[in-house]
């Protein structure tokens, strides 16, 4: 840090640092996308395999079709709020709104995971009713992880925005990088909601 103005000094120009940070986030998105598509593949593979009614046992429980969408809407709203802040920075509370929306969505996802109707208690051992239940839990857990990471990024943007001594070029790059992440988790949420809507 430079003691005179409190700014972080990089040896490279801000645009180079910004491109490097954005590349890192894009590589994280590629890794995360492979995990999301593996979950989707597993869901449909087990659904079509369905040996001995292992997908959904007779009298098995399911969530409603809308349950995946209830926890996806906050991801979409958060991405839209961040995009609005990115284009108009006069309202400095929008990053905190993004953070708040993601916290609410994370709570909704956590509540769904904690109150699943398809957990069977057999002699004190809790298990899932079938492959549908375990696949749904895995997809819901991945969605919850997106809420945790998204909240962390949103809080970082909100706190960073309150500082005045940030290079404007680097700030532009960081907002664009965060926008890439928020767009990805919204797209991932839609993919997962569509997947679990097909019972």
Q: Give residue limits of the domains in the chain.
A: 14-197
> The whole model's pTM is what?
0.83
Summarize pLDDT for 154-182 with one digit per residue, the tens. Answer: 998 888 877 767 677 777 778 888 889 99
CATH of range 14-197; options 2.60.40.10, 3.40.50.2300, 1.20.120.80, 3.40.50.720: 1.20.120.80
Residues 182 and 153: beta-carbon distance below 8 Å:
yes
Phi-psi region of 4 (alpha: psi -120 to 50; beta: other; left: phi over 0): alpha
33: DSSP letter: H
| 125-128 vs 119-122, strand pairing mode | antiparallel
Nearest to 186, CA basis, from 153, 138, 157: 153
Per-residue pLDDT of 62-85, as tens digits, reads: 788 888 899 899 999 999 998 888
Residues 6+ apart with CB under 8 A from 24: none
Check: CB of residue 130 under 8 Å from CB of residue 55.
Answer: yes
Query: Residue 8: which pLDDT band, with cuts at 50, 70 and 90?
Result: low
């Amino acid at each position: 840090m430079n003691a005179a103005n409190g700014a972080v000094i990089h040896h490279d120009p801000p645009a180079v640092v910004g491109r490097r940070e954005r590349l890192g986030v894009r590589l994280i998105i590629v890794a995360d996308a492979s995990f999301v598509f593996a979950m989707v593949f597993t869901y449909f593979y087990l659904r079509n395999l369905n040996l001995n009614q292992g997908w959904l046992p007779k009298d098995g429980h399911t969530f409603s079709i809308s349950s995946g969408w209830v926890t996806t809407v906050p991801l979409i709203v958060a991405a839209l709020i961040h995009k609005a802040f990115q284009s108009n920075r006069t309202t400095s509370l929008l990053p905190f709104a993004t953070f708040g929306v993601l916290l609410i969505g994370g709570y909704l996802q956590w509540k769904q995971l904690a109150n699943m109707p398809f957990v069977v208690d057999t002699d004190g051992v809790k298990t899932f009713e079938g492959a549908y239940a375990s696949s749904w839990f895995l997809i819901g857990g991945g969605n919850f992880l997106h809420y945790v990471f998204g909240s962390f990024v949103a809080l970082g943007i909100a706190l960073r925005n309150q500082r005045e001594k940030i290079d404007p070029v680097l700030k532009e790059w960081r907002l664009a990088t965060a926008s890439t992440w928020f767009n990805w988790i919204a797209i991932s949420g839609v993919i997962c909601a569509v997947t679990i809507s097909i019972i």
